[in-house]
């Protein structure tokens, strides 16, 4: 049996890991890079580029360079997050046939799972070159607050990349697994604060004797380091407009240069107190070329981004309350994700939890390492590791009046089975539609529809008399089965809720074939 790899499919960068002689290792590329930019591009000559090669040409080819696919994957085109991205990203975003998100690169339309598959293919190739054997199985990480459709879209990306996805695991949980491998000690309660390039998660876990139990988790799948970059970019645009009268926000190439400069300055300010941003020939007018040259201090960056970090702290507070704990009950705070290098983030996390965050794990690599640990636990016959995860969002059904009635509350440990008795809303009603939803809103339409089915054969009676037992069953892999049964007539109907990535099985199969052709081209 070949090696099973763990992949952290990130918004900004991705990382791959595997177990070697009982220990997890981060696999570097031939060039020595331990992480790979999650960027895909098509050149003017129709050549596909992934990773570092794609990122290097982004400034000169902004329209055809796709980045931050993770922020959009599994979302509906009509969602507010996609509308926001359409206005800010340099590439074209369009609507797919199933209200999914598609992007245009090199004149061709790509789905988001297809773009993510290109990144996964690159991670697979890096692993195969290093391990010198074919890799077919993987554990892939996702933000803890991803809904079922986003998780399915990620799984479809793995299938397109030619990988059997053994498990989709939450990023903070993976980080906790890696931390547990490093700190083999007494029982403790930890908080994993995960602020990456595009998403934020906070998870509270209890560790002890090989058991990793998630107590509570929450997050924001559209909050991350990219928002820091955007804050800097907006400031640069405003300053340049004030001094020259030229608005750079309408120039795609200029925006890509600003984005690149903003990210570099942000990273520099994690180590130094001020950074110089110098972009010559950024624009021109009738009087000649214009250059952008200004200093950005750490204090100014904190002023521009403090509200972003405050949003994460508010989510942390809510998560601790949901876990029915106090901040003093947390023994250790683990920082995960590249954006946690920010001095402002570290200061606000320290002030909130009242303790110095643990810095013994690599923020860019720890999630991939945890995925490899989980991969080994799934494939080895003897393992001392037990992972008890939770469902991040409530699951339930739509009820009369357009309301949402949850049957399984968020942060419920899986596997789990729960049922509830419902009844009819009209006299002589013989059928009911069961609409399965996921989310936290009291209104059904504000939540994500996972599936629906009809229960027929109910006896004619006055409304409120028939008793219909609706049951939810979630297994360890997060697969949801829903059944409805009329307790008098014994008529029963059920559905296995299969989340939608926006792709049909035929589309996934066709994309997988195209990906195989691309993989052959790479090898040649």
Residues marked active site are found at 8, 70, 171, 194
Q: Are strands 137-142 and 65-67 parallel, antiparallel or unpaired?
A: unpaired
Q: How far is it, in rounded angstroms, from Cα 162 to Cα 158?
A: 6
Q: 362-382 burial, b for 16+ CB within 10 Å, e for fewer?
A: bbbbbbbbbbbbbbbbbeeee
What is the helix (H) or strand (E) element at residue 259, kind and residue range? helix 252-268
What is the helix (H) or strand (E) element at residue 137, kind and residue range? strand 137-142
- Rounded to whole angstroms, the maximal C-alpha distance in the chain is 85
Strand-pairing partners, residue 5, are 138
Residue with tokens 């890696």: 178
Q: How far is it, in rounded angstroms, from Cα 516 to Cα 524?
A: 12
Phi, psi of 255 (to 5 degrees): -65, -40
Helix (H, G, I), strand (E, B) or coil at 36: strand
Q: How far is it, in rounded angstroms, from Cα 92 to Cα 62?
A: 10
CA distances from 82 to 78, 85, 190, 385, 424 (A): 7, 5, 33, 39, 38
Cβ-Cβ contacts under 8 Å for 169 (sequence gap 6 or more): 139, 140, 141, 142, 370, 371, 374, 389
Q: How far is it, in rounded angstroms, from Cα 506 to Cα 485?
A: 33
């Amino acid at each position: 049996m070949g090696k099973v790899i763990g992949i952290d499919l990130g918004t900004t960068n991705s990382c791959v890991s595997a177990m070697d002689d009982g220990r997890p290792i981060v696999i570097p590329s031939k060039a020595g890079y331990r992480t790979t930019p999650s960027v895909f591009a098509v050149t003017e000559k129709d050549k596909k580029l992934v990773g570092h090669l794609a990122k290097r040409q982004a400034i000169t080819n902004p329209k055809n360079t796709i980045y931050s696919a993770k922020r959009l994957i599994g979302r509906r085109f009509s969602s507010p997050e996609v509308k926001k991205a359409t206005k800010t990203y340099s590439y074209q975003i369009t609507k797919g046939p199933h209200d999914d998100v598609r992007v245009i690169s090199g004149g061709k339309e790509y789905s988001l799972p297809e773009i993510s598959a290109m990144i996964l293919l690159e991670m697979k190739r890096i692993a195969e070159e290093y391990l010198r054997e074919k890799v077919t199985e993987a554990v892939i990480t996702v933000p803890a607050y991803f809904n079922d459709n986003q998780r399915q879209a990620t799984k479809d990306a793995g299938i397109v990349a030619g990988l059997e996805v053994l498990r989709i695991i939450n990023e903070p949980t993976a980080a906790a697994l890696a931390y547990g491998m490093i700190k083999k000690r007494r029982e403790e309660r930890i908080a994993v604060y995960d602020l990456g390039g595009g998403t934020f998660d906070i998870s509270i876990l209890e560790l002890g004797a090989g058991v990793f139990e998630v107590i509570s988790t929450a997050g924001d799948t559209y909050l991350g380091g990219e928002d820091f970059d955007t804050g800097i970019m907006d400031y640069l645009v405003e300053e340049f407009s004030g001094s020259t009268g030229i608005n750079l926000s309408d120039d795609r190439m200029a925006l890509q240069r600003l984005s690149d400069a903003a990210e570099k300055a942000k990273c520099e300010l994690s180590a130094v107190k001020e950074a110089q941003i110098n972009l010559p020939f950024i624009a021109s007018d009738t009087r000649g070329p214009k250059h952008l040259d200004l200093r950005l201090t750490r204090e100014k960056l904190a002023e521009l981004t403090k509200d972003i970090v405050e949003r994460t702290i508010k989510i942390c507070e809510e998560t601790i309350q949901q876990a029915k704990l106090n901040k003093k009950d947390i023994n250790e705070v683990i920082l995960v994700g590249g954006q946690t290098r920010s001095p402002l983030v570290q200061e606000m996390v320290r002030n909130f939890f009242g303790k110095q965050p643990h810095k013994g794990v690599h923020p860019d690599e720890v999630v991939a390492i945890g995925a490899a640990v989980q991969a080994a636990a799934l494939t080895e016959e003897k393992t001392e590791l037990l992972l008890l995860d939770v469902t991040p969002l409530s699951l339930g059904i739509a009820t009369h009046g357009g309301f949402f009635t949850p049957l399984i509350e968020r942060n419920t440990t899986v596997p789990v089975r729960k049922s509830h008795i419902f009844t009819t809303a009209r006299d002589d009603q013989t059928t009911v539609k069961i609409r399965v939803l996921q989310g936290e809103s009291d209104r059904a339409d504000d939540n994500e529809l996972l599936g629906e089915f009809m229960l027929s054969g109910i006896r004619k009676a006055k409304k409120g008399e028939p008793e219909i037992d609706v049951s939810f069953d979630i297994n360890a892999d997060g697969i949801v089965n829903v059944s409805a049964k009329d307790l008098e007539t014994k008529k029963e109907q059920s559905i296995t809720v299969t989340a939608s990535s926006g792709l049909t099985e035929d589309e996934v199969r066709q994309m997988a074939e195209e990906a195989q052709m691309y993989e052959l081209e790479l090898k040649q």
